Amino acid sequence: MSFSAISSIATSAMTASQLRMQVASSNIANADTTGYTKKSANQTATVTSGVGTGTAVTSITSTVDKYLLKDLTAAATELGAATTTDDYATNLGSLFGSVSSTNGDSTSLADLIASLQSAISSLSATPESSTLAAQATSSFDAVASQIRQSSNDVQTLRDNASYEIADDVASANEALNTIGNLNDEIVAAKAQNQSTADLEDQRNEALQTLAGLMDVNYYINSNGQMQVSTTGGTMLVDSSVHELSYASTSTAAANTVFDPVTVDGKDITAEIASGNIGALIQQRDVTLPAVQDELDSLASTFSDTVNAVYNTMTSNPPPSTLSGTTAVSSSDAFSGSGTVRIAVTDSSGDLVNYQDLDLSQYSTVGDLVNALNSVSGISASVASGKLVLSSTDSSDGIAIGGTDDAAGSSGQGFSDYFGLNDLLVGSSGADIAVRSDILGSADSFATSTLDMTTSPTVGSSILSTSGDAIDQLYGALTGSASFAAAGSLSARSSTLTDYASAILSGISGASSSADSTLSTKQTAYNTLSDSFSSETGVNLDEETANLTALQQEYSASAQILSVLKTMFEALLQSAQS
């Protein structure tokens, strides 16, 4: 073998060893770098005309199991969804409190309703007590306020979800653009026969970030480009990047319809089922609205149940104006039966005038208004779409009683049908409240009823205050009521307390389930991550030993060149002598 051949072999061996040492050093330096995978310098022998002429590093690559990467990507998506779901379940649970009180100061709905029942029971024993009436009013207000606050909290969480979707969409677009830019760099590097291993690491890291945000499909084409799409097939990265678009809503309400997530104008909201964004959409559009539906059901049933009894009662003295809450017009058809008594009293609650009306005689609301206007001392009208009764003398009051009175298809009492003496107003969990005039004055709380057993005379006392009417109110609060299916709760006959507890139990159960799911998904992700790291990560001991061996190879090649140089110089000196 010639000196030239030996020199070529030794030199190429030194160059290869040097490159391999650089790769090993880079592995050691990046051992703790997120997303970095161990690189290998692929070395082959060089042959010229069938004769070995040395060695060369032909490529620098990393070995990544594409199937393991797919599994890890899917696990990142599931973990992202589980994390978000658990966060929202925990937040919702903390806002609603525990199912029952342990220290007597709980503000959970079930406990507040129980406190209200206790207040009504006390008032029933002493109905003439203004202090107990004030406590009952306060207890009603506490329940209504808590329902409103809970509804507000639910909508605030929906707001938060909307804002987080906007933030995550921005993060997803950043990851998509990173993938798109790295695609260009990888294609260019491949064209120049340069290593793309580090670029691929960065791209895989961006893919993992994207996968945590939303479920995607991806593949690598023949040019080395990563192409990404939604699970529904909408392209996100091909030859260009197709960004997501989303505008968050400033303030959510129960009926808010949020803007969709779009790509190139196409609504892809339904194509995002997992990851942070998918879980946020689920919370915003399904989970939280279901809880709101349950609160609305509780609010409406609570209101209807209480008002049905409260409308049979009156304060003493009665108010000078009764304003209905039910929307009506004079032309509306009216069907009724039984007798309703409309009485006008003075400021002491003594009779000024009264009239009994046979409800079966009137076919429209307008007919009924005309009949009410015929009662001396009464002015009746439909104002702003509601029935209003006012005494013509502002110092007088109006009381209503009934004997088997029934109005409308559901057979409500006359006053209840029009909502003339409702205690609770509002149509949902968001706006349920104690009527403002009652809330402002304990004396306005109704504890009396209009006497219907006799034909009273002017100046006689026709209002009786006893515990009987309050007992009926207590019975309404503690008895079973019919609840339609709402949210995750099926239709049922239940007490108000039990229904409120069912709402809280559902929230608590969802929180426990979300926590368990998160633990499972975290374990699965950690297992796959460890496997991926074990296969592609840097083993410092192994790389250090490899670096030492390469240094020895380099030294050996250098020694060959040194010996070769000495031999060549000796030959030159011999030839000159």
pLDDT 10s digits, 452-471:
877 899 999 999 988 899 99
For tokens 């970030």, the residue is 209
Using the predicted structure, report yes or no on whether residue 51 has a pLDDT greater than 70. Answer: no
CA separation, residue 249 to residues 246, 253, 316, 379 (Å):
10, 10, 48, 46
Report the chain's mean pLDDT, rounded to a whole number: 89
For residue 176, count other CB atoms closer than 10 A to its CB: 24
Using the predicted structure, report yes or no on whether residue 106 has a pLDDT greater than 70. Answer: no
What is the length of the chain? 577
| Strands 321-323 and 386-391, sheet pairing | antiparallel
pLDDT (mean) for 162-184: 97
Q: Give ∠ CA 238-240-241 in degrees, rounded to 5.
A: 95
| Strands 244-245 and 262-263, sheet pairing | antiparallel
Q: Which residue has the higher pLDDT, 60 or 224?
A: 224
CA separation, residue 49 to residues 2, 4, 52 (Å):
15, 15, 8
Confidence of residue 100 (pLDDT cuts 50, 70, 90): very low
Using the predicted structure, report yes or no on whether residue 101 has a pLDDT greater than 50. Answer: no
26: left (phi over 0), alpha (psi -120 to 50) or beta: alpha
pLDDT for residue 378? 96
pLDDT 10s digits, 202-240:
999 999 999 999 999 999 998 999 999 999 999 999 999
Q: What are the residues whose beta carbons fall under 8 Å from the beta carbon of 445, sequence distance 6 or more?
A: 133, 134, 136, 137, 315, 438
171 DSSP assignment: H
pLDDT for residue 403? 87
For the record, the structure tokens of 522 come out as 């975290």
Q: Which residue has the higher pLDDT, 417 or 94?
A: 417
pLDDT 10s digits, 116-150:
999 999 999 999 999 999 999 999 999 999 999 99
- Lowest-pLDDT choice from 292-301, 542-551, 566-575: 542-551
Residues 420 and 411: their CA atoms lie apart, in Å, by 16
pLDDT (mean) for 387-393: 97
Q: Is the Cβ–Cβ distance between 187 and 224 less than 8 Å?
A: yes
Confidence of residue 556 (pLDDT cuts 50, 70, 90): confident
Q: Which residue has the higher pLDDT, 77 or 559?
A: 77
Q: What are the residues whose beta carbons fall under 8 Å from the beta carbon of 191, sequence distance 6 or more?
A: none
Using the predicted structure, report yes or no on whether residue 477 has a pLDDT greater than 80. Answer: yes
Q: Is the Cβ–Cβ distance between 373 and 357 less than 8 Å?
A: no
Q: Give ∠ CA 129-133-134 in degrees, rounded to 5.
A: 115
pLDDT 10s digits, 5-17:
667 677 777 776 6
- Lowest-pLDDT choice from 302-311, 325-334, 436-445: 436-445
Cite the beta strand spans of 226-350 per DSSP E. Answer: 226-230, 235-237, 244-245, 262-263, 266-267, 321-323, 336-345
- The dihedrals phi and psi of 343, each to the nearest 5 degrees, come to -120, 140
For the record, the structure tokens of 63 come out as 């070995």
The pTM assigned to this predicted structure is: 0.85
pLDDT for residue 76? 96
Give me the sheet containing 321-323, strands edge to edge.
321-323, 386-391, 378-383
pLDDT (mean) for 484-501: 96
Residues 257 and 285: their CA atoms lie apart, in Å, by 9
